[in-house]
Structure 1
Amino acid sequence: MSYACVLERLEHRGSFESTAAPRDLSKLEGIKTLLHDLGHPEQAFQVVHVAGTNGKGLTSTMTAWLLQHEGFRTGCYTSPHLEDIRERITLDGEWVAQESFARHAETVLDLSESYGDAPYLSYFDLLTATALLAFQDAGCQWVVLETGIGGRADSTNVTDKALTLLTRVGLDHQAVLGDTLEQIAAEKLGITRPGVPLVSAEQAPELMPWLEHECQILDVSLTCTTTLPLTETDGLSSLHWPDGDRLALPGKAPSPPWLECFRISLLALELLFPKGTAVRSSRVDAIWNTRLPGRLDHRKSVQLGNWRFAEVVLDGGHNPDSLGALANQLQQWKISGYTLIVGMASDKLVDAVHVPLQTLVGQAQQTLVVPIPSPRTATPEVLVQFLSNPELPKASPPFSQREAGEDSPVEGFPDLNAALAQAGQQLEDPLVITGSFYLVGEVLRLTEGSST
């Protein structure tokens, strides 16, 4: 079966990612049955499992690079994808081949369809099984698995594991995971196993005592990135290891969120394969230039459709912490007076996201609101209302476009191209695009000849 046909079959199955409807978090019978009937591909390699709210993809990618640097055949499974579904499944840093993806996905789809209506299998279940088959077929020795949502009942939480990693926990997916940081963190801690170490980012001050207590109860050894502090002297940055070793960094870290992922990954490899100064230095060099598109992604001279913008920042931030990090990073980069294009899923418009969004809007010369290419999109009408009102958005009257010459800081557009046409009137002003990975993916499909 062709790659295109397999993609069409997958899309017909629907997905939690496209609906964001709450599900029963206690059920993993579907993926477990599927993997059993596939011969347990998840048992063919060792696993590092990554959960958290923000930074999971970068942490997973860095950890996979470090395992490859150690000489292991390494797979990495992340989500979401921006342009091509094969971004989710990499083998030694390269996307899985179309032929391999199609072959394994067809096997998974055929088997799942033979079950009828039970057990239930989601789109993410099917992709996860496809990835595990691809990793087994490629002879992977280590695999890094990023959770989709939560952890305890996530499709990826069906393997034994050698190590677990927890990135920063924040408010997101509250309808599924809970309304408080502790409730959300409890779901994410569901990836842990007794006796299996956990490396964690430094969490919010109110969460750290709870996390330490829970790890004691779960018999999980906790290592926090606070054990690998960073100092700056005369403009030079250094990491200080718990054993007293001091390691100078090659330069300035691109952002605080990047640095936290960097430290988690280094500590992960230190726990798995303790080494001395020379190896630590080579590990730093191996991942120092690791970046992911669409995450605090700063580019110069970017062609978007018919317009070449002098400076563009792309970020898929869609929750309070990630949007706040974007606002802080723009300040660090001394970027203001920009055109802001925002599109978000309707379920992301919660009270806590209003403040960082208002911060971004307040530094913009103009804010252009667009729908995202997802059934979950907030309409421009609703998002404009949300930006002017701290209450959760409700159905609003039909939105009227701004009249020519009328001065308004926030304006709705029917699609991205219409917003770019407006932004294109100020090509020398910075352009910041945020609110959703769906929107960032749509933008990336328009890029030509841009330099990061």
Structure 2
Amino acid sequence: MTIRPTGSDAILERLLSLHPKVIDLVLDRVHRLLEALDHPERAIPPAIHIAGTNGKGSTLAMLRAGLEGAGETCHAYTSPHLARFHERIRLAGEPIAEDELADLLAECEAANGSQPITFFEITTCAAFLAFARHRADWTLLEVGLGGRLDATNVIAPRLTIVTPVSMDHEAYLGDTIEKIAAEKAGILKPGTPCIVGPQDERALEVIEYRAARLGAPLQVHGQHWHVREEAGRLVFEDETGLMDLPAPRLIGHHQVLNAGMAVAALRALGRQRGAEAAMTCAEWPARLQRLTHGPLVEAAGPAELWLDGGHNPAAGAALAEALTRLPPRPLHLVCGMLRTKDAAGYMAPLAPVAERLHAVSIPDEANTLTAAETLAAATRAGLVADAAPSVAEAVAGIAAASPDARILICGSLYLAGHVLRANG
């Protein structure tokens, strides 16, 4: 018997059919629907808009923890979700309730009628409706794809943040770092300050050029602010002075840089009193996350089980660096990736630190690489690899052969979401 979805799941399923493409980067449809909804995007609490290739979600999580630590409330919009769609829309700190989500989606569906609109566009409009109807001090918005033509880029933000830009989504954003940076820098607004994370020089030139044309003041890593690890602490420094803070709760040197962007943003907002909470209270699942309970952990036995959703070459390099800082154990990767990603480019930095990669396909994901295709990419990247029928079988096999292993499930946020749902 087929179980039909109900509530918000049923509406979300219908919304997927409103446009033949998953991604179609124009803003006309969003503006049309927002006008029909009486422009909720103009009534949301002051917004902080975050674009970039890597680190957007982690930076947002630390910024949210910092603002909440300063006694303020935050709405937040992130994507994709891991286990449930409700994760994408947080109202004053809490995931949106099922009844309200269903009502908002139904309202957007009725206002849109049968006109073409992508899933991300109409659900972004639903998020704006929710944010406009609930009080909070801040709205934190993560760009879905790119920036200039992203559905979130219809607001007048109080502050923007551009995290590190690297190669990803070339089919939509362009085939050079300069073209991609131009799309990301599309969130900059006239006179609105922007925090700029560590950048390739070519990307930074593009960002600085757009900022100069718009009169958008920049706070650039390496020029206006600096961040470093020192004696197990985080040291942030800008023209205002030095801050000695706890190390970030999120693991990896790349999280030190993300923490720096969050602290720079808190400084720009006059909320630096929340900087310690930004370090110690942030939570962001599937970013080098240690799994400690559930059936997969039981299957791993004495082996460590970790999860990470990074999926491009820069994320692979950051992950490899972070793994070298953990106490040594034989590292086995269980990897599944989407067809749109540079699989070999992602895996290449991991080859020197991993003993073997076990390739899997991503369950219930039409755009997944097959296990055989992921295996071939791993071989091209210099990894010893084999294929496994499922994540659970890969984990059990590794644990049986190497009880002292560190098992890292990686390669895709969609795979990470499947793992979190399956693992309870």
What TM-score, normalized to structure 2?
0.89
Q: Does structure 1 retain, via aligned residues, the 8 Å contact 2:252–2:322?
A: yes
Q: Does structure 2 retain, via aligned residues, the 8 Å contact 1:295–1:315?
A: yes
5+ residue gaps, structure 1: 392-407
The match for 2:330 is 337
- 1:32 Cα deviation (Å)? 1.0
Q: Does structure 1 retain, via aligned residues, the 8 Å contact 2:181–2:206?
A: no
Q: Does structure 2 retain, via aligned residues, the 8 Å contact 1:225–1:267?
A: no
Q: What whole-Å deviation, never above 9, does each CA across 1:277-319 have from its counterpart, x for those lacking one?
A: xxx3543234433131101213456641761443122111110
What amino acid maps onto 1:344 in structure 2? Answer: M
Q: Distance in 1 between matches of 2:229 and 2:69?
A: 27
- 1:355 Cα deviation (Å)? 4.6
Q: Does structure 2 retain, via aligned residues, the 8 Å contact 1:198–1:220?
A: yes
Confirm or deny that 1:415 pairs with 2:417: no
The change in CA–CA distance for 1:430 and 1:30 in structure 2 (over 3 A counts) is same
Q: Distance in 1 between matches of 2:132 and 2:6?
A: 23
The match for 1:41 is 40
- 1:97 Cα deviation (Å)? 1.2
- 1:248 Cα deviation (Å)? 1.5
Q: Aligned match of 2:399 in 410, 424, 431?
A: 424
Q: What whole-Å deviation, never above 9, does each CA across 1:237-261 have from its counterpart, x for those lacking one?
A: 4322312x22222246632221222
- Aligned to 2:275, the other structure's residue is in SS state helix
- 1:360 Cα deviation (Å)? 2.2
The match for 1:304 is 296
- Aligned to 1:48, the other structure's residue is in SS state strand
Q: How does 1:396-407 map to 2 (within 5 A)?
A: none
Q: What whole-Å deviation, never above 9, does each CA across 1:86-125 have from its counterpart, x for those lacking one?
A: 111112321111111111111112222x2x23xx211101
Q: How does 1:187-202 map to 2 (within 5 A)?
A: 187-202=183-198
- Aligned to 1:229, the other structure's residue is in SS state strand
Deviation larger for 59-68 or 228-237 = 228-237
- Aligned to 2:305, the other structure's residue is in SS state strand
The change in CA–CA distance for 1:203 and 1:303 in structure 2 (over 3 A counts) is same
The match for 2:214 is 218
- Aligned to 1:76, the other structure's residue is in SS state strand
The change in CA–CA distance for 1:221 and 1:17 in structure 2 (over 3 A counts) is farther
The match for 2:153 is 157
Q: Aligned match of 1:378 in 369, 372, 378?
A: 369
Q: Distance in 2 between matches of 1:432 and 1:108?
A: 40
Deviation larger for 221-230 or 434-443 = 221-230
Confirm or deny that 1:98 pairs with 2:98: yes
The change in CA–CA distance for 1:359 and 1:163 in structure 2 (over 3 A counts) is closer
Q: What whole-Å deviation, never above 9, does each CA across 1:154-173 have from its counterpart, x for those lacking one?
A: 11011111111111111110
5+ residue gaps, structure 2: none
Q: Aligned match of 2:355 in 359, 365, 384?
A: 365
Q: Does structure 1 retain, via aligned residues, the 8 Å contact 2:195–2:220?
A: yes
Q: Distance in 2 between matches of 1:361 and 1:11?
A: 39
Q: Distance in 1 between matches of 2:14 and 2:297?
A: 30
- 1:3 Cα deviation (Å)? 8.7
What amino acid maps onto 1:10 in structure 2? Answer: L
- Aligned to 1:249, the other structure's residue is in SS state strand
Q: Does structure 1 retain, via aligned residues, the 8 Å contact 2:50–2:143?
A: yes
- 1:439 Cα deviation (Å)? 0.7
Deviation larger for 68-77 or 301-310 = 301-310
The change in CA–CA distance for 1:133 and 1:441 in structure 2 (over 3 A counts) is same
**Percentage identity across paired residues of the two chains:** 31
Q: Does structure 2 retain, via aligned residues, the 8 Å contact 1:337–1:364?
A: yes
What amino acid maps onto 1:413 in structure 2? Answer: A
Deviation larger for 133-142 or 205-214 = 205-214
Q: Does structure 2 retain, via aligned residues, the 8 Å contact 1:330–1:336?
A: no
Q: What whole-Å deviation, never above 9, does each CA across 1:23-66 have from its counterpart, x for those lacking one?
A: 3x3x2111111111111111112211110011111222222333
- Aligned to 2:236, the other structure's residue is in SS state strand
Q: Distance in 2 between matches of 1:176 and 1:10?
A: 24
Q: Distance in 2 between matches of 1:122 and 1:355?
A: 29
The match for 2:344 is 354
What amino acid maps onto 1:441 in structure 2? Answer: G
- 1:232 Cα deviation (Å)? 5.5
The match for 1:64 is 64
The match for 1:444 is 420
The match for 2:321 is 328
Aligned positions, number:
415
- 1:137 Cα deviation (Å)? 1.7
- Aligned to 1:388, the other structure's residue is in SS state helix
Could you say which structure has the larger radius of gyration? 1
The change in CA–CA distance for 1:16 and 1:179 in structure 2 (over 3 A counts) is farther
Q: What whole-Å deviation, never above 9, does each CA across 1:117-152 have from its counterpart, x for those lacking one?
A: 3xx211101211111111122123421111100011
What amino acid maps onto 1:257 in structure 2? Answer: H
Considering only aligned residues, what root-mean-square deviation do their CA atoms show, in Å?
Answer: 2.7
Q: Does structure 1 retain, via aligned residues, the 8 Å contact 2:332–2:356?
A: yes
- Aligned to 2:146, the other structure's residue is in SS state coil
What amino acid maps onto 2:263 in structure 1? Answer: L
- 1:11 Cα deviation (Å)? 2.0
Q: Does structure 2 retain, via aligned residues, the 8 Å contact 1:18–1:376?
A: no
Deviation larger for 41-50 or 165-174 = 41-50
Q: What whole-Å deviation, never above 9, does each CA across 1:325-346 have from its counterpart, x for those lacking one?
A: 1111111114452221000001
The change in CA–CA distance for 1:320 and 1:291 in structure 2 (over 3 A counts) is same
Q: Distance in 2 between matches of 1:173 and 1:15?
A: 23
Deviation larger for 318-327 or 130-139 = 130-139
Q: Does structure 1 retain, via aligned residues, the 8 Å contact 2:70–2:273?
A: no
Confirm or deny that 1:134 pairs with 2:130: yes
Q: What whole-Å deviation, never above 9, does each CA across 1:387-430 have from its counterpart, x for those lacking one?
A: 22369xxxxxxxxxxxxxxxx93111233233233223134311
Q: Does structure 2 retain, via aligned residues, the 8 Å contact 1:296–1:315?
A: yes
Q: Distance in 1 between matches of 2:17 and 2:317?
A: 29
Q: Distance in 2 between matches of 1:303 and 1:19?
A: 36
Q: Distance in 2 between matches of 1:16 and 1:229?
A: 46
Q: Does structure 2 retain, via aligned residues, the 8 Å contact 1:19–1:375?
A: no
